[in-house]
Structure 1
Amino acid sequence: MPLHFFSKAVLAFALISAPALAAEHKIQMLNQGLDGMMTFEPAYLAVQPGDTVAFLPTGAAHNSRSVLSPENGTSWNGAMGEKVTVTLEQEGIYLYQCDPHLALGMVGVIQVGQAKNLSAAQKQAQTLSSRFAVNKDRLSQYLEKVE
């Protein structure tokens, strides 16, 4: 068989199996975690385009809602105590919060591929952090992990 047949076969297989390579990640919504009270864990997560992230409630008093997504990026707004699963296709920074615990700094950062909207995320982080009663530097610390 000609060599180009095998090249096309390998390319076709790679394209068909590409969705199978997408990873699934889990973020817990916690009353107490490694970063203190009212936190997502992990609160910073780096993933690849096409990966899925599931927000898992550990109690009925938490939700997850996106507050910043890259252009054409997925947004979500989970109900209280609801598991939310999102597939993130667009590269950039996604910021999210727990609505009832925003004043306690219950926020998180997901980096999908390249951080194309980092400056917008930093600006939004300043706005959000000004609404925190405690843990005022939590979000900026998470954004420092962005590569």
Structure 2
Amino acid sequence: MKKLLVMGLILLSNTAFAEHYDIKMLNHGSDGGMVFEPAVLKAKVGDTVTFKPTNKGHWVQSRVVPEGAEKFLSEEDKEFTLTLTHEGVYVYLCPPHRMMNMAGLIQVGAALNKEKAEKMVLELDKRAMDNKGRLVKYFEQIQ
């Protein structure tokens, strides 16, 4: 019984101190055309992120998620809120603008899946027609 009480208090404390972040989907931002802002986010397990289609024609899809986390796909022009449930790196993009390298990263705690995330980042960047190198630059912030 004591063990259950302690586990419940730990879960409650993690939820009580969770942060919320907004990521805007923009046609133009500080890093050029077709961007997420912020493009790199550091967060912790239990935090939430709302992707906001500030401009029309955007949505978000996961390409890499930490082991055990669920992949995600939002609807076009709709806000989408994600609860970050597992430690690791989340790599995501805007499907209609992936050729413009409209992608971003979220690091939750330790980058447990860094190799898998890096492989996806390099693949996405290689296939991009515009903004080459931008996602690789973002990935340099992952530790």
- What's the TM-score once normalised by structure 1's chain length? 0.88
Quote the residue 1:79 is aligned against: 75
8 Å contact from structure 2 (residues 65, 88) kept in 1? yes
> How many matched pairs?
139
Q: Which runs of 5+ in 1 are unaligned?
A: 1-8
Provide, for residues 12-66 of structure 1, a one-character-per-residue CA deviation record: whole Å limited to 9, x for no partner: 7665343111100110000100100000000000000110010001122101111
Q: What is the CA-CA distance between 1:11 and the residue it aligns to?
A: 9.0
8 Å contact from structure 1 (residues 74, 88) kept in 2? no
Quote the residue 1:4 is aligned against: none
User: Which of residues 96, 105, 111 in structure 1 aligns to 2:107?
Assistant: 111
Map 1:40-59; keep pairs closer than 5 Å: 40-59=36-55
Q: What is the CA-CA distance between 1:10 and the residue it aligns to?
A: 9.6
Whether 2:115 is the aligned partner of 1:126: answer no
Letter in 2 for 1:115: A
User: What percentage of residue pairs aligned between the two structures are identical?
Assistant: 41
Letter in 2 for 1:84: F
8 Å contact from structure 1 (residues 70, 94) kept in 2? yes
Distance (whole Å) between structure 2 residues aligned to residue 10 and residue 67 of structure 1: 36
Distance (whole Å) between structure 2 residues aligned to residue 13 and residue 105 of structure 1: 42
8 Å contact from structure 1 (residues 27, 54) kept in 2? yes
Q: For 2:15, what is the secondary structure of its paired residue?
A: helix
Quote the residue 2:89 is aligned against: 93
Quote the residue 2:26 is aligned against: 30
- 1:16/1:70 Cα in 2 relative to 1: closer, same or farther (>3 Å)? closer
Q: For 1:120, what is the secondary structure of its paired residue?
A: helix
- What's the TM-score once normalised by structure 2's chain length? 0.90
Whether 2:132 is the aligned partner of 1:136: answer yes
Distance (whole Å) between structure 1 residues aligned to residue 115 and residue 61 of structure 2: 20
Q: For 1:66, what is the secondary structure of its paired residue?
A: strand
CA RMSD of aligned residues (A): 1.7
Distance (whole Å) between structure 1 residues aligned to residue 8 and residue 69 of structure 2: 27
Letter in 2 for 1:60: K
- 1:10/1:97 Cα in 2 relative to 1: closer, same or farther (>3 Å)? closer
Q: For 2:63, what is the secondary structure of its paired residue?
A: strand
- 1:126/1:11 Cα in 2 relative to 1: closer, same or farther (>3 Å)? closer
Letter in 2 for 1:59: N
- Deviating beyond 4 angstroms after TM superposition, the runs of 4 or more aligned structure 1 residues are 9-15
Q: For 1:130, what is the secondary structure of its paired residue?
A: helix
Q: Which runs of 5+ in 2 are unaligned?
A: none
